[in-house]
Structure formats: C-alpha cells, structure tokens
Structure 1
Amino acid sequence: MLRTKNNARLDEDICVHIFTASAGMVGVCITVIGIFQVITTLRREGTLGDDLLAVNAILYLATTIMSYWTLRTRKQRRNPVLEKITDILFLVALTFTTVVAGVITWAMTFT
C-alpha cells in the first residue's frame, strides 16, 4: 500500500516537472529563434534552424498543455495513458532540441 502511494506521488511530481520544464523550454525556443533571426539577417543567409525551432516550440507547448491536463485530472481517476503520452512527447521534444542544436551548429560552421 505504501509503495503504491509513493509511486502515485512520484508520478504527480513528474507531471509538475514536465509542466514547468516544457513551459520554460517554449520560452527558450522563442528566444533562440529571435537570436537566430538576428544572426541570419546580419549574415544575409537563411537556414532551416529557425523553422525547426518553431516546430520544437510547438512540441513543448503540446507537452505543456498535456501535462497541465494531466495535473487537472488529478482529483479524478488519473489517466495513465495520458501520462505516458505526455512523458513520451516530452522526451521526443528534448531529443528534437538536441537535433536542432546540431543542425544550427553545423549550418553555422559550414557556411
């Protein structure tokens, strides 16, 4: 019984962390898009990086909304499928962030 309560508490903590981290990452993506636009304007060349960052911000926004939805259904019977989808989407967004960082780095290096 105690183990079940600890697992439920851990799941709740994970949802809160995903919510706050995803919301923060949306801001990071928007900030980097702005900086990236300044750099590409000064260099007078465009890359795919800002478009990929916009998609990444949308992924984080979707994760934020889903984790908020999960937290709002806390008092009712929690939906483990929704929690699992939120976790997977957050990991996909984090992985995509790394890919975008690589694309931006290589695009700036080779041009």
Structure 2
Amino acid sequence: MALRKFHEDPARAWSVAQLAREAALSRSGFFERFSRVMGVSPMTYLLTWRMALAKQWLCQDKMAVSEVAQRTGYGSSSTFTVAFTRHTGVSPARYGRTKTPVIAAG
C-alpha cells in the first residue's frame, strides 16, 4: 500500500503518520513493519525513489532542474539540488549532462 502511494505521487509531502493511517496501523507499527519488510525506513525509501526518478528525468527526458524539483516534491530548485548532490555526489545539472539514463522501476 505505501509503495503504491509513493510511486503514484512522489511529489506529495508524505509523512509516516499519513501512511500509517492509510495502512490502518499505528505509526510505530507501520514504521516497524515497513522497515522490516523493505530493509529501510519509509522516508529513506521515498528519498531513494525520488532520486531514481530524478536521475531518469534528468538524463532520459532532459528536464530542467526546476521541473524535476517540483515533480519530486521539493519546494525549490536549490533544496532539490542540495538533496540530489548529497545523495549522488554530483549536482543535478552535471548529472544530466554526464550520466547514462537508468530507467526507474515502478
């Protein structure tokens, strides 16, 4: 259920509390179950999914950084750039120019 929600709307400002309500579990129960099954916390999974989409959009679709930021749920290009650079080790603009696209599953 949570995976479907993440994949359907990666730009949404998700919280563990929202996801737990949708799954009809307590926050702690949802967090524990998700982490056990997926091997990472819900928010770590969401970040990884958003960054996979961003990589695809930057390379394959050659989207502007501002559009990728919006589509991945970041309020500004600068906030997205900081998160992307921290995650990949390279800025989004440079990544889009130098990397071969890897299509995200989902």
Is TM-score (shorter-chain normalized) higher than 0.5?
no
Q: Which has the higher contact order (CA 8 A, sep 6+)?
A: 1
TM-score, structure 1 normalization: 0.34
TM-score computed with the length of structure 2 as normaliser: 0.35
Q: Which entry has the higher C-alpha Rg, 1 or 2?
A: 1
As a proportion of its length, which structure holds more helix?
Answer: 1
